[in-house]
């Protein structure tokens, strides 16, 4: 069974996407930026904490936790932010250690320094 989980982006219906989609015991979380944060005054670490908080919330809505995350993809607007972003990622995932990719890209919002997507597999639970 498919469960679409909405976020707060006004672009979801325009573009045609969900914040996350759960199929069975797998949750796919769309690329998530620091929506709702004063990004003009937030450094990469603060933006990362905010994004990971959003991800944690959407995983909860899907019946998952950070412990279920098997993959993250981190998109950086500035390659030099890799260490600060990596340290915050480690605060959330240091013991979990999902497969992770980090690349530098041009993000759509010029004040965003970070965007993260994730995949989770909920052990022992079928949707």
- Write down the architecture of domain 2-121 according to CATH: 2-Layer Sandwich (3.30)
Summarised one tens digit per residue, pLDDT across range 41-59 is 999 999 999 999 999 999 9
pTM of the model: 0.93
Alpha helices, DSSP H, located in 13-125: 44-61, 82-93
pLDDT of 126 above 70: no
Helix, strand, or coil (residue 102): strand
pLDDT reported for residue 11 = 79
Summarised one tens digit per residue, pLDDT across range 70-113 is 999 999 999 999 999 999 999 999 999 999 999 999 999 999 99
Pairing of strands 20-23, 69-76: unpaired
The band of 125, judged by pLDDT with boundaries at 50, 70 and 90, is low
């Amino acid at each position: 069974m498919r469960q679409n989980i909405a976020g707060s982006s006004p672009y979801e219906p325009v573009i045609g996407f969900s914040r996350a989609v759960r199929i069975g015991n797998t949750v796919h979380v769309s690329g998530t930026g620091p929506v709702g944060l004063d990004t003009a005054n937030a450094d990469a670490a603060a933006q990362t904490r905010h994004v990971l908080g959003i991800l944690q919330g959407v995983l909860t809505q899907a019946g998952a936790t950070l412990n279920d995350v098997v993959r993250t993809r981190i998109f950086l607007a500035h390659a030099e932010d890799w260490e600060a972003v990596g340290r915050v990622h480690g605060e959330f995932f240091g013991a979990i250690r999902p497969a992770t990719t980090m690349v530098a890209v041009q993000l759509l919002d010029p004040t965003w320094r970070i965007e993260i997507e994730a995949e989770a597999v909920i052990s022992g639970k079928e949707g």
